[in-house]
Structure 1
Amino acid sequence: MMRIGSIVLGMQEAQRKPRSRWVGLVLWGVLLPLVLLVALGWMLSDRVFVIDMMGAAQMHLCWGVLLVLLIGLALRRWRFTACVLVLLGCALYPLLSGRTLMLPKPEITRGDRSIRIVSVNINPENESWDDALSRLLEIDADVIVLIEVPPELNRSIKNRGILDGTDFPYWTQRYWVERQTSPCFVLSRWPIKKLDTGGDPIMNQNALHVLVDGPQGAFVVGLLHPLSPRGNGRWTLGNAVIEMQADVIVETIKRTKLPMLIGADLNSAPAQYRSRVLREHGLRQSKPLLRMGGSFPTNAGVPGPLRVQIDDVWYAPGVRPVAWESIEIIGSDHDGVFAEFMLD
């Protein structure tokens, strides 16, 4: 009987070994390379267009890596699980770097040294721009950054005095250049001065830096809106613009010695190259990590958690975020951002 039992156990063990080899092959030969791509691919996002586009879904891909980790735990493959755990940390790094964990929404009252800024891609084809603008002007903000302004709103601000008599009588603009830059405006509650961004003509047409003389103290506001990466050419050009503008932002901060806030639609998510360039230049996103959901697209039936956060207010040292809120914009395919900062 003992001999028969040993034979049966031997047969079962022989059956397990091929099965174990196949499981190992799938884990190490299929799943681990995919995890490696998610964990380290963002480091190559400046070189490969497709890899950078993958970064738009980095958070969702991290959930996939977590699932692989749980599979490794369930199968008791400890070395495999340890490798995946390390790679999960690498995959999360561009999402976590420099981010605040959680912030409340702006309250009705605020401190004397607080700065409130709204940044909005209002949509160049927005037929309800007048309603959208009216609601924006009701917000208790110091500055409103308008990106991709519709032609009628552009003319109404420049030629028809639509802001006269409002709480935001001061404004300046970034001009429209065909196939290169969108018309954008900075509206302010307080007196402003447009700053020189250098002699480079390409930079002058892309950058807009404004000195705001507010009661809480002077600060600088800028805007960023590079070309959307609808193809390799536009992606490359937009990346080059961000690289140049990031350098100019650093120079503006050094020259003025003032805190700086950037209203931005980067057409790029936190794990993509354009966001990485700004982080490497000392800028940080204000959106808190645990505020789920993205800002784009809002008009295509895409649930909030599946949208991409391409709109935000970035900030440099000298201020710290104390409140953040996503705001719905009538007629736009983007949500706007309403952020509050405190001067250090």
Structure 2
Amino acid sequence: MGTTRRRRSRWVWTGVALAIAVVAVALPHLDVLVGGLVPAAQALVPLGAVGLVVLAVVPLIFRAWAAAAILVVGAVLAGLPTLTPLRADAGCVAGTPVTVVAFNAKFAGADPGLLAERIDEAAADIVVLVETDEAHIAAVLRERGLAEALPHRTRETSEGGVNGSVILSAFPLSDEEDIEGSVFDQVTAVAALPDGEEFRVAAVHPPPPIGQPADWRAGLRALEQWIRETPDERLIVAGDLNASYAHPAFRHLASTLRTAAEAAGPVPWPTWPEERPVPAFTAIDHVLARGAVPTAWDSFAVPGSDHRGVVGEWSLCAP
């Protein structure tokens, strides 16, 4: 009787483990919205994969070996699509180094003095700020000599600290235009290096999936189309993309780009949420590029924002 009960218990554990694993493995490949619930769940996949490994300890106690193995395999298969892709240099001849900082200032509420300090410490050549406004930008530039270090910028932001996006640059900017497809400002411009070479920079900010899932998907698709149609061989795309490699829409968007996070290895270091009771669990702030090789990546926190800023160091490919 006891043997039969144990056997039945193992079968139950195996069935439960299989159901959990199938859902976990399928989740990062689902391109459906369900009111934003699926994208929100996908953001948790890296954390969930770790949770499956921990959960696998429980069936081991009951000697349900198959169930434990299924959970571990499910964790691996679920986590693989969410990892930072490590790509080959594809014949790129490294040239001019460029350091890019991207930061969501959260309704222009991030401490301008500490933000300026982080920008200065990074020795940034390009700074992309989203959810900012003119007063906040001016406050940042007043600190640490940034007005002199970053004398060039894109147009004035939209009023209010929710929509505004700006590119601050050590290099002259030209050929400025807006990127359509988002409820937030998205602006792009061409930066001219001292040697006469150029590269294009884009400050991007698609809407979040919670509360406006259709706009989120449309924003990512519009940005993907813009990236595909922009002819610039050297392109840097930076900002809060409200998506990670756990989202198929983002993986498709970033398929032709490299991420500065490559320099930190395959683990997707999270950038959101900051200053919350729960620790950051998803990497939605990015510095992406084509025609460049990532050489370093870092992140930082500034009081007043729920996002971590990201620092991407690049070596632009020689033309």
Same fold? TM cut 0.5: yes
- Amino acid corresponding to residue 209 of structure 1 in structure 2: T
Matches within 5 A, 1:201-212: 202=181, 206-212=185-191
- 1:185 match: 166
Contact 1:207 1:245 in 2 (8 A): no
Alignment partner of 1:148: what SS?
Answer: strand
Aligned mates of 1:213, 1:123 — CA distance in 2: 30
Corresponding residue of 2:215 = 237
Paired position in structure 2 for 1:141: 124
In the superposition, the TM-score normalised over structure 2's length comes to 0.81
> Does residue 250 of the first structure (1) align with residue 228 of the second (2)?
yes
Q: Distance in 2 between matches of 1:309 and 1:245?
A: 18
**Alignment counterpart, residue 302 of structure 1, candidates 278, 299, 306:** 278
Q: Secondary structure at the match of 1:52?
A: helix
Q: In the alignment, residue 246 of structure 2 is paired with which amino acid?
A: A
Q: Counterpart of 1:343 in structure 2: which amino acid?
A: L
In structure 1, the residue matched to 2:8 is 21
TM-aligned CA distance change 1:89 to 1:131, over 3 Å: closer
1:239-278 aligned at under 5 Å gives the runs 239-252=217-230, 255-256=231-232, 258-278=233-253
**Aligned-pair distance for 1:99?**
3.9
Preserved contact between residue 242 and residue 277 of structure 1 (Cα < 8 Å) = no
Counterparts of 2:122 and 2:265, CA distance in 1:
24
Structure 2 equivalent of residue 89 of structure 1: 76
Distance in 1, matches of 2:54 and 2:183, equals 47
Matched, 1:194 2:170: no
Aligned length: 306
Residue type matched to 2:126 in 1? V
> How do 1:304-319 residues align onto structure 2 when only pairs under 5 Å count?
306-316=280-290, 318-319=291-292
Partner-residue secondary structure (3-state), 2:148: coil
Whole-angstrom CA distance in 1 between matches of 2:153 and 2:270: 28
> Offset of 1:267 from its aligned partner?
2.0
C-alpha distance after superposition, 1:250-306 (max 9, x if no partner)? 111xx22x22111121222331244223234x2233223466752222222433xx4
Q: CA deviation at 1:71?
A: 5.2
- What SS does the aligned partner of 1:113 have? strand
Aligned to 2:103: 120
Measured after TM superposition, the shift of residue 26 of structure 1 is: 2.5
Q: Contact between 1:96 and 1:289, CA under 8 Å: does it hold in 2?
A: no
Kindly state the Cα deviation for residue 127 of structure 1 after the two structures are TM-superposed.
6.4
Q: Which has the larger radius of gyration?
A: 1
Which letter does structure 1 place at the counterpart of 2:19? P
The runs of 5 or more residues in structure 2 that have no matched partner are 88-93
Deviation digits for residues 51-94 of structure 1 (CA, Å, limit 9, x no counterpart): 22111111111012223545566766565555445433320222
Does residue 1:166 correspond to 2:148, yes or no?
yes
Q: Is the 8 Å Cα contact of residues 243 and 250 (structure 2) preserved in structure 1?
A: yes
Q: Alpha carbons of 1:76 and 1:18: their partners in 2 closer, same or farther (altered >3 Å)?
A: closer
Change (3 A) 1:32 1:178: farther
CA change 1:222–1:174 in 2 (3 A) is: farther
**What SS class does the counterpart of residue 166 from structure 1 fall into?**
helix
Deviation readout 1:93-122 (Å, 9 max, x if unpaired): 22225147xxxxxxxxxx962111011112
One-letter identity of the residue aligned with 2:151: P
TM-score (norm 1): 0.76
1:45/1:23 CA distance change after superposition, 3 Å: same
| Residue pair 2:28, 2:247 contacting (<8 A) in 1 also | yes
Does residue 63 (structure 1) correspond to residue 50 (structure 2)? The answer is yes
Check whether the contact 2:84–2:267 (CA below 8 A) recurs between aligned residues: no
With 149-158 and 237-246 compared, the bigger mean Cα shift is at 149-158
Unaligned runs of 5+ in 1: 1-13, 101-110
Counterpart contact for 1:173–1:184, Cα < 8 Å? no
Corresponding residue of 1:32: 18
User: Which residue number corresponds to residue 32 of structure 2?
Assistant: 46
1:15–1:149: structure 2 CA closer, same or farther, 3 Å change rule?
A: same
